Amino acid sequence: GENVEQHPSTLSVQEGDSAVIKCTYSDSASNYFPWYKQELGKRPQLIIDIRSNVGEKKDQRIAVTLNKTAKHFSLHITETQPEDSAVYFCAPSNYGGSQGNLIFGKGTKLSVKP
């Protein structure tokens, strides 16, 4: 099965700084790479995703980069704001394969200090 690791487990940054969270996975068949944000007491919500035929995707202040050879992908948040404080989960999966479900990392707790 898929082994997923996220680093770091906690991250504290000053408002305006950048934050980078890395996710490594083991299943070379993984072809879908989403990042979920879970604010305290709320549901996980998809914030950005990338498929295996793309190396990078950007949406305003957030971006995801994928390195399929090394089997890792990263979440980049620039110009961080206090409302970015949350737990972020990566969830690589193999859509269309034997696993249609998402395998989540353990999460990274991001704290943005004003």
Choices 13-21, 53-61, 75-83, 100-108 (CB under 8 A): range interacting with other proteins? 100-108
* CB 78 within 8 Å of CB 68: no
Nearest by Cα to 76 from 57, 90, 63: 63
50 binds other proteins (CB under 8 A): no
Give yes or no for a cis peptide into 8 (omega within 30° of 0): yes
Residues in 9-48 that interact with other proteins by CB under 8 A = 32, 34, 36, 42-46
Residue corresponding to tokens 């479900």: 101
Can you tell me the distance from the alpha carbon of 18 to that of 109, in angstroms, rounded to the nearest whole number? Answer: 14
Residues in 52-81 that interact with other proteins by CB under 8 A = none
Of 18, 55, 82, 95, the one binding other proteins by CB under 8 A: 95
Residue corresponding to tokens 């950005």: 48
- Least Cβ distance, residue 81 to other proteins (angstroms): 23
Residues of this chain that bind other proteins (CB under 8 A): 4, 32, 34, 36, 42-46, 49, 89, 95-96, 99-107
